[in-house]
Amino acid sequence: MSIIETRRQQMFPVLDAGQIETAKRFASGPARSFAPDEIVFDVGERQAPSWLVLQGSINTFRRDGLNHESAITTHRSGQFSGELSQLSGRESLAQGRAGEEGCTAIPFDPAHVRALMIGSAEVGEIMMRAFILRRVGLLEQDGGVGSVLIGNSGTASLARLVEFLRRNGYPYKVLDAEKDPDGRAMVERLGVQQADLPLMVCPNGTVLKCPSEAEAGLCLGITPELDPEKIYDVAVVGAGPAGLATAVYAGSEGLSVLVLDSRAFGGQAGASARIENYFGFPTGISGLALTARAFNQALKFGVEVAIPLEVQRLDCGEADRRSGAPHRLMLNNGVTVSAKTVVIASGARYRRPPIDNLARFEGAGVSYWASPVEAKLCQGEEVALIGGGNSAGQAVVFLAPKVKKLHLVVRGEGLEASMSRYLIDRIRALPNVELHTKTEIVGLEGGENGGLTGAVFRDKRTGETHTCHMRHLFLFIGADPNANWLSHCVEVDGKGFVITGTGFADGSVEREVLPYETSRPGVFAIGDVRAGSIKRVAAAVGEGAAVVPQIHEVLTEG
């Protein structure tokens, strides 16, 4: 059963008279009347208000870039329109038209929606739950809303875009360019070559040929327009658990916050199939579900999130640091943003084993995470996974029930030194997992279509090699700090992790260095990128929360 069938009352609640009067105090404008069938809000409209119906009704429809339209629901007196787009101000995913009797409704623009959610706990809880469930409902629908992807199934370029949309919680539908009539017709009509696939059809009808994530984000309205003149209280680089925690706590305390990430919210944690040792979730929770909650919570407190925008450089500058000049971040789209403080939460990038032809198969059989997308691609096949840490263990437990056989490859003597006991026990109970200790993969083989067909295993004790035929290889061998963009502005250790709690040797600031502060005053580092941090989701969240009082201390100085 769909979520609309099981949780309709929570998705489309009716406010009582008292709740309506409470909501009215937060409206962004006076009540407005609409004629029958008049458009109240439209697909692609930015900053579209949420409308609280007083009289009449609003019929809502979903529509994709191929102009397929279907009804979602009808909002009547005491009900409100909108979903998470109305919280963030991003482009609307639905259209609303006044019913046959017309409609009178009160508008709540994104800022006033957030004010209502914070100002009235009762109504705010109802609205937030409804917004989240409505987005989930849009995600579970088979097309008819959001983006349409047209490409050849199993290709790396299509998988890349699917993962980008999935990780960012954006609805989409995939059409096979050869087998689906609509997909084939679109390709033939546009005269598209194979090199141009996949196509992305945005809700406004714009067609992109094999777009980058940045191009897709702009077309879909995911990426906001940033004001280069604005000076934020804090800019957070990285939307993983640490960065999102900082955003939530800083935003809830009234600071203006900008979060920047080059791909999606969640970081590496967002790619975890299941986190079972996070405090408060005894049955476990997927990394995407956990970080999506934090992302929505940050939006609720007015945090601006800019995805996918990459910070290319932190401007060190030559000015006297006591002047109070803001820090400047140079982005890959040519925009420079300014903030009084900066939090480095850029985490780590996936480590690559020394296999000569590895790059050839990245995205074409080699993956650095195990999401439902990859699980579907390798269902019923033989796969291999390299790694002996907890992330590797979680991936094994997630993938094994879906594949024919899983080869777990570790360089060491076993798993005990690097993996939690509960994961080791669970892996040993899986009948289709074969553990290869003191083993490494030294080569990859591919077929005519460019995809992976096998891997060469080498026994480190004997030097003997053998080829294992497979189409998918998962790499979970750790990560290196993602700190190259800092341009030597802050001190790092021998491995490139950012050092905190020491610095200011030039005497430019007359106070002690704060615990999470770097060698540059007002610039902090938290989470996996920080030297000495504990590489756990809970620890990252804790650091994200703990850095906020230190940010306040610096802002008070200014």
Token pair belonging to 504: 């200011």
pTM of the model: 0.84
What was the pLDDT predicted at 319?
Answer: 46
CATH code, domain carrying 82: 2.60.120.10
Is residue 548 a part of any domain in this protein? yes
User: What's the structural domain count of the chain?
Assistant: 4
Range of the domain at 343: 231-349+480-557
Q: Is residue 511 part of a domain?
A: yes
Per-residue pLDDT 10s for the chain (558 aa) are 677 778 899 999 999 999 999 999 999 999 999 999 999 999 989 999 999 999 999 999 988 877 788 899 999 999 999 999 999 999 999 999 999 999 999 999 999 999 999 999 999 999 999 999 999 998 887 666 889 999 998 787 898 899 899 999 999 999 999 899 988 999 999 898 988 999 999 988 899 999 999 999 999 989 988 999 999 999 999 999 999 999 999 999 999 999 999 999 998 888 777 787 788 988 888 888 999 999 999 999 999 999 999 999 999 875 445 556 899 999 999 999 999 999 999 998 888 899 988 988 887 789 888 878 788 889 999 999 999 999 899 999 999 999 999 999 999 999 998 899 999 999 999 999 999 999 999 999 987 666 899 999 999 999 999 999 998 999 999 888 999 999 889 999 998 999 999 987 766 677 899 999 999 999 999 999 999 998 789 999 999 999 999 999 999 986
Same structural domain, 87 and 161:
no
Identify whether residues 400 and 459 lie together within a single domain: yes
Note whether 466 and 506 are same-domain residues.
no
Tell whether 498 and 470 lie within a shared domain. Answer: no
Q: Examine residue 449 and state whether it is found in any structural domain, yes or no.
A: yes
Long-range contacts of 313-320 (CB under 8 A, 24+ apart): 313/485, 313/487, 314/342, 314/485, 314/486, 314/487, 314/489, 314/490, 314/523, 315/489, 316/487, 316/488, 316/489, 316/520, 320/508
Which residues, 6+ apart, have CB-to-CB distance to 53 below 8 Å? 75, 76, 77, 78, 79, 80, 81, 103, 104, 105
> Is residue 226 assigned to a domain?
no
For residues 522 and 509, give the distance between their C-alpha atoms in angstroms, rounded to a whole number.
10
15-55 tens-digit pLDDT: 999 999 999 999 999 999 999 999 999 998 999 999 999 99
As beta bridge partners, residue 465 has 458
Please indicate, yes or no, whether residues 378 and 470 belong to a single structural domain of this protein. yes
| CA angle centred on 236, ends 230 and 242, rounded to 5° | 160
Domain boundary among 140, 170, 197: 140
Residue 223 included in any domain = no
Q: What is the pLDDT of residue 543?
A: 98
Please indicate, yes or no, whether residues 383 and 458 belong to a single structural domain of this protein.
yes
The pLDDT, as a whole number, for residue 357 is 86
Examine the fold and report which residue of 430, 451, 475 is the final residue of a domain before the chain moves on.
475
Tokens of 380: 């019923």
DSSP secondary structure letters along 148-181: EEEE-TT-HHHHHHHHHHHHTT--EEEEETTTSH
CATH number at residue 208: 3.40.30.10
> Pick from 173, 194, 217: which residue ends a domain?
217
Same domain, 337 and 388: no
**Same domain flag for 161 and 203:** yes
321 and 258 inside one domain: yes
The verdict on 484 and 344 lying in the same domain is yes
CA dist 496 → 88, 324, 525 (Å): 35, 28, 13
Task: Decide if 113 is inside a domain.
Answer: yes
Count the Cβ atoms, other than its own, within 10 Å of residue 529.
28
Residue 448 lies in a domain: yes
Question: Residue 261's domain is classified under what CATH number?
Answer: 3.50.50.60
Task: Compute the distance between CA of residue 76 and CA of residue 58 in angstroms, rounded to an integer.
Answer: 7
Q: What is the pLDDT of residues 175-233, one digit of tens each?
A: 999 899 988 999 999 898 988 999 999 988 899 999 999 999 999 989 988 999 999 99
Residue 6: the pLDDT is 86
CA dihedral 278, 279, 281, 286 (to 10 degrees): -20
Q: Are strands 39-41 and 94-108 parallel, antiparallel or unpaired?
A: antiparallel
Task: Looking at the structure, tell me whether residues 431 and 371 fall in a common domain.
Answer: yes
The verdict on residue 65 lying in a domain is yes
Q: Answer yes or no: do 247 and 194 share one domain.
A: no
